[in-house]
């Protein structure tokens, strides 16, 4: 399987890098600045599952030919439109796209652009970041990617992709028959975590150790689950139990990529994550005051950022 990974940031660099490390046929589609770093220093990963410095194949958009069987899409949501146009010339006639973006809204855009049968659903549970030096740094032991056909079929192509990931270290990959359910559950998890960590500018433990923080967290988790249920995807009991525990841990250092984006004074995926959850909550008439506040908070941050008023 010839694999093209768009982006060599946190997610693309980690999962694509782990595949490349096994000798899989992986090419990173990057922009010039990242290509220079990758050529000079290699793709560097620091991780509790083993550090790596890999010589990897890279390509610029202008060099693409329609030869790739799988395109793993790892841009941020605000780059999605451009990224879809960038990868289109690289897809082989029978090629498919595996998006690993957080959220749900990307699926409609991808289905419209490529057709539903050429787009898998996908989700990553990991905490990883690209350092200013260009190193892909994994922050804890989360390392799961889950993917599947939107139709639910356990097709040869998802099983082949899962097989490739089996040879990797530091990746726990699952091909599943219910990817949209999994994506909604991840969305409930992320929207809850992103809203709270961004509103409070704190990690989970710092929030839980305040007098009211833990209760606000759990109410938000349950409200988000109601929104997911209103879309036909009620989170399982097992999922709810896991995240009730996760969002109750007093010593947790867990933060989100959205908080890291704010802290580095960068763009965020606020509309794609919190804006989308808020809209769905309003449509379903679910109480979502905390999401409304978090959405407004991050939008206001973006205005200060755009106006150059952040030190």
Ligand X SMILES: CC(C)(CO)C(=O)C(=O)O
Ligand Y SMILES: NC(=O)C1=CN([C@@H]2O[C@H](COP(=O)(O)OP(=O)(O)OC[C@H]3O[C@@H](n4cnc5c(N)ncnc54)[C@H](OP(=O)(O)O)[C@@H]3O)[C@@H](O)[C@H]2O)C=CC1
Report strand pairing: 136-149 vs 120-130. Answer: antiparallel
Binding of ligand Y by 76 (CB under 6 A): yes
Closer to ligand Y by CB, 15 or 214: give it: 15
**Residue 205: φ, ψ to 5°:** -60, -45
- Distances in Å between the alpha carbon of 193 and those of 17, 25, 56, 246? 27, 35, 34, 10
Q: Which stretch binds ligand Y (CB under 6 A): 81-89, 108-116, 168-176, 296-304?
A: 81-89
Q: Is 126 in the site for ligand X (CB under 6 A)?
A: yes
Q: How many residues lie near ligand Y (CB under 6 A)?
A: 30
Position among 43, 56, 70, 77 found at the interface with ligand Y (CB under 6 A): 77
Q: Please select the residue that binds ligand X; options are 106, 127, 138, 168, rule is CB under 6 A.
A: 127
Q: Which two tokens stand for residue 114?
A: 């490529």
Dist. CA 210–CA 116, nearest whole Å? 45
Which of these segments, 56-64, 113-121, 186-194, 275-283, binds ligand X (CB under 6 A)? 186-194
Cα 207 to Cα 195: distance, rounded to the nearest angstrom: 12
Q: Are strands 43-46 and 136-149 parallel, antiparallel or unpaired?
A: parallel
Structure-token match 């356990």, residue found: 154
For position 174 contacting ligand X by CB under 6 A, the verdict is no
Which tokens hold the place of 218?
A: 């759990």
Per-residue mark of binding to ligand Y, 91-130 (x: CB under 6 A): ---------xxx---------------------x-xxxxx
Residue 31, binding choice from ligand Y, ligand X, none, Cβ under 5 to 8 Å by partner class? ligand Y
Taking CB under 6 A as the criterion, the residue among 118, 125, 201, 219 binding ligand X is 125
Q: What is the DSSP letter of 227?
A: H
| Contact with ligand Y (CB under 6 A) among 25, 69, 79, 178 | 79
Measured from the CB of residue 120, what is the shortest distance to ligand Y in angstroms? Answer: 15
CB of 32 to ligand Y, least distance (A): 8
Q: Give me the helices (H) in the chain, please.
A: 10-11, 17-21, 32-41, 80-87, 106-114, 156-166, 179-200, 204-208, 213-230, 237-246, 257-263, 270, 276-284, 289-306
Residue 290 partner contact from ligand X, ligand Y, none using kind-dependent CB cut-offs of 5 to 8 Å: none
Position 86 contacts ligand X (CB under 6 A): no
Minimum Å gap between C-beta 247 and ligand X is 11
Judge residue 293's burial from the number of C-beta atoms within 10 Å of its C-beta, 0-12 exposed, 13-18 middle, 19 or more buried.
Answer: middle
The label of the residue with tokens 């989100």 reads 256
Site residues (CB under 6 A) for ligand Y?
Answer: 6-12, 29-31, 34, 74-77, 79, 82-83, 86, 100-102, 124, 126-130, 257, 269
Site residues (CB under 6 A) for ligand X?
Answer: 102, 125-127, 189-190, 193, 256-257
């Amino acid at each position: 399987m010839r694999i093209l990974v768009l982006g060599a940031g946190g997610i693309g660099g980690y999962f694509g890098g782990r595949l490349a490390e096994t000798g899989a046929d992986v090419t990173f589609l990057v922009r010039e600045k990242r290509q220079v770093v990758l050529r000079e220093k290699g793709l560097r990963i620091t991780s509790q599952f083993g550090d790596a410095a890999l010589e990897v194949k890279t390509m610029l958009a202008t060099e693409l030919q329609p030869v790739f069987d799988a395109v793993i899409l790892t841009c941020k949501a605000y780059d999605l439109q451009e990224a879809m146009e960038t990868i289109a010339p690289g897809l082989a006639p029978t090629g498919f796209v595996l998006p690993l973006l957080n959220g749900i809204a990307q699926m409609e855009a991808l289905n419209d652009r490529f057709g539903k049968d050429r787009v898998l659903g996908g989700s990553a549970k990991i905490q990883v970041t690209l350092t200013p030096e260009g190193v892909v740094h994994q922050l804890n032991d989360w390392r799961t990617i889950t993917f599947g056909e939107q139709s639910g079929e356990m097709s040869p192509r998802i099983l082949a992709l899962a097989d490739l990931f089996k040879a990797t270290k530091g990746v726990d990959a699952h091909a599943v028959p219910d990817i949209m359910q999994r994506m909604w559950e991840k969305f409930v998890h992320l929207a809850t975590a992103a809203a709270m960590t961004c509103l409070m500018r704190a990690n989970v433990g710092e929030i839980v150790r305040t007098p009211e923080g833990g209760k606000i967290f759990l109410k938000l988790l349950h409200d988000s689950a109601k929104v997911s249920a209103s879309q036909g995807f009620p989170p399982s009991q097992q999922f709810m139990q896991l995240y009730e525990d996760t969002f109750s841990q007093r010593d947790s250092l867990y933060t989100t990529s959205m908080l890291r984006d704010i802290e580095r004074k960068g763009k965020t995926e606020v509309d794609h994550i919190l804006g989308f959850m808020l809209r769905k909550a309003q449509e379903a008439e679910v109480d979502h005051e905390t999401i409304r506040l978090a959405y407004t908070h991050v939008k206001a941050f973006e205005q200060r950022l755009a106006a150059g008023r952040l030190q």
